[in-house]
A and B are shown apart, each in its own frame.
Chain A
Amino acid sequence: MTFSLRFRAAIVSVLIFLAFVGVWHIATRGTGAVAAMTPEYAKLMGLTATQGKSAMPGPLDVGAKLWEHLKRPFYDNGPNDKGLGIQLGYSIARVGLGYFLAVIVAIPLGFLIGMSPLINKALDPFIQILKPISPLAWMPLALYTIKDSGLSAIFVIFICSVWPMLLNTAFGVSAVRKEWINVARTLEVGAVRRAFTIILPAAAPTILTGMRISIGIAWLVIVAAEMLVGGTGIGYFVWNEWNNLSIVNVIIAILVIGVVGMLLDQILARFTRLVTFPE
């Protein structure tokens, strides 16, 4: 009896996961009491020194803490102790806002670049120079001019997600098949209607691919940006827990960042599938 490829792959995935967790568990297992010391001294030294407990948390520690977080995602005990849900909410809101602004700018501008060879050539040197700049390099300038750390983070998201969308839109628009344009021309379709009924649907898969790359980059950058600006967000949470020496929370944050990044990517992938047409 043979199972479907999907089912067999799922089994292998589970096995890999179990193996990883098993190795992790064994590697971080305590080694038993290592040294005898006076109780006062032992208190100072902590469990690592007295009972040979690994400094790196094991899967059970992380699992227990994660369960705690999941039970109370939205608690708020002041600036340095907020629930994981609240921190993620801040990050997602920043990414959403910066990304939304980037969409508003990049898609119309990309249309213009794709339609006009003149503008394409004229803007090309600027885009080529601005594109490779690390988004975080803008941070000081943003802080200085905007004078608000929250808005600066949004600006950094904007600037990092604008390029893939801009270039993909321009490429998608300029690569629309000549014959489709000719169909519109022979039907005397006006410029605006042509843009919305021919160019937009024809370029939509390419544009959405750019948007998908952008959301991935934005989610990468927000963690670093929030480490810099501080205050709230999942990036701040990671750095704060590092300062607290809570490796358990750092690991949980890493896990959660991965899961949210995957969800954002999947949402965009679904939109891409919606606008993709078979030829």
Chain B
Amino acid sequence: MSMTGKFISIEAIAKRYPGATGSEIAVFEDLWLSMARGEFACVIGHSGCGKTTVLNILAGLDTPSAGTVIVDGQAISGTSLDRAVIFQSHALLPWRTVLGNVSYAVTSKWRHWDRAQVKAHAQKFIDLVGLTGAEHKRPSELSGGMKQRVGIARALSITPKIMLMDEPFSALDALTRGTLQDEVRRICRDTGQTAFMITHDVDEAIYLADRIFLMTNGPGAVLAEIVENPLPKDRGRIDLHRHPHYYALRNHIIDFLVMRSKTFTSTAVDYDPRNVPAVRIGKPELMIASVSDASRDESNQASWPGLSRPSTS
């Protein structure tokens, strides 16, 4: 990716906390990461690897101990209406209605709009996430999925440059999660939104992300690999798993989570945090699937290269 293509550039950020004996514990050190405009990126890693910290730093809710974050050519300082956050716990204001919650965001961005303007704008985004008719309900009257829809509508209503999502669907049941993934994907594609999402769900990452960032275990976590999603842009949820590269991709990520995330930092010899290897599944020369697995899977593989059955789910 060229320098001009960097819409978001995280440069050498670190997060350290004071340890028990006066020393400092680094959650991560010297982390570099960049994204292009309109890209959808997912971060996958085990709990405690600092994913949420990266997102909070990107949102401006947290400050790095070292390094800078550059968005659209400018170093960020603090939060911004350009960067909307969708919280895991939806974080709706329970004393406001659906319309009230979205309007709160709208009036925060456009302070001089009159009531009618605010209402019309908020309504547009409530309709967009499929909550028409529930405008006057309070969050306590909504299901988990509907609450998160309000969270999405609130984030979108300020027309941000970037959407930051911290495991937005992890508290939802599988069916609702699927529907909301579809909607987020549709909205992001339609509006050309740049999105940065943290997830634990490998399939969610494969379905949504253009690139998947794999992080090793903390403390001292590093960005180990950037996996480029080989599936076509217009992939559908229904036939996702029939794509020739699907299982290779899924296995690669799961292998990383199960095994390599623990050992990566001790085994990678020439790891350069500024030049994290990009992995393109399906191109044999760049395959970094574990060798022992690959040879064993050879026997029960179908016709596509790099394809194996899921060993974990």
Seen from chain A, the residues whose Cβ lies within 8 Å of a Cβ on chain B are 177, 179-180, 182-183, 185-189, 197-198, 201-202, 275, 277-279
The answer to whether A185 and B61 have CB atoms under 8 Å apart is yes
Known contacts A179-B91, A182-B91, A201-B93: does B105 contact A187 (CB below 8 Å)?
yes
Known contacts A277-B138, A278-B140, A279-B140: does B81 contact A188 (CB below 8 Å)?
yes
The answer to whether A187 and B91 have CB atoms under 8 Å apart is no
State the CA gap A208–B84 with chains docked (Å). 33
Most chain A CB within a 10 A radius of its CB, from B79, B85, B95 = B95
Chain B contacts of A188 at CB under 8 A? 79-81, 108
Interface residues of B in 102-161 (CB under 8 A from A): 104-105, 108-109, 138-140, 158
Minimal Cβ-Cβ distance residue in A for B106: A187
Chain B interface, >50% SS class: loop
The answer to whether B93 and A186 have CB atoms under 8 Å apart is no
Say yes or no: is B247 at the interface (Cβ < 8 Å to chain A). Answer: no
Provide 22 A-B residue pairs closer than 8 Å at the C-beta atoms, listed in order of the A residue.
A179-B87, A180-B93, A182-B85, A182-B91, A185-B60, A185-B61, A185-B78, A185-B79, A186-B59, A186-B61, A186-B79, A186-B83, A187-B108, A188-B81, A202-B93, A202-B95, A275-B95, A278-B94, A278-B138, A278-B140, A279-B94, A279-B140
State the CA gap A7–B61 with chains docked (Å). 55
Interface residues of B in 68-97 (CB under 8 A from A): 78-81, 83-85, 87, 89, 91, 93-95
**Cβ proximity bits B234-245 to A, threshold 8 Å, 1 near / 0 not:** 000000000000
Given contacts A182-B87, A185-B78, A188-B108, 13 further A-B contacts (CB under 8 A): A179-B87, A180-B93, A186-B59, A186-B61, A186-B79, A186-B84, A186-B85, A188-B81, A198-B93, A201-B95, A275-B95, A277-B140, A279-B94
Known contacts A188-B81, A278-B140: does B91 contact A183 (CB below 8 Å)?
yes
The answer to whether A277 and B83 have CB atoms under 8 Å apart is no
Cβ of B119 to closest chain A Cβ, rounded Å: 17
State the CA gap A179–B171 with chains docked (Å). 16
Minimal Cβ-Cβ distance residue in A for B88: A179
State the CA gap A9–B59 with chains docked (Å). 56
Minimal Cβ-Cβ distance residue in B for A200: B95
Minimal Cβ-Cβ distance residue in A for B86: A186
Chain A contacts of B108 at CB under 8 A? 187-189
Chain A contacts of B91 at CB under 8 A? 177, 179-180, 182-183
Cβ of A236 to closest chain B Cβ, rounded Å: 43
Cβ of B134 to closest chain A Cβ, rounded Å: 16
The answer to whether A182 and B61 have CB atoms under 8 Å apart is yes
Minimal Cβ-Cβ distance residue in B for A183: B91
Minimal Cβ-Cβ distance residue in A for B151: A183
State the CA gap A233–B40 with chains docked (Å). 72
Chain A contacts of B158 at CB under 8 A? 187
Cβ of B56 to closest chain A Cβ, rounded Å: 9
Cβ of A225 to closest chain B Cβ, rounded Å: 37
Cβ of B162 to closest chain A Cβ, rounded Å: 11
Chain B contacts of A189 at CB under 8 A? 108
Chain B contacts of A183 at CB under 8 A? 87, 91, 93
Minimal Cβ-Cβ distance residue in A for B108: A187
Cβ of A14 to closest chain B Cβ, rounded Å: 37
Chain B contacts of A197 at CB under 8 A? 104
Cβ of A193 to closest chain B Cβ, rounded Å: 8
Chain A contacts of B104 at CB under 8 A? 187, 197
State the CA gap A179–B59 with chains docked (Å). 13
Chain A contacts of B93 at CB under 8 A? 180, 183, 198, 201-202
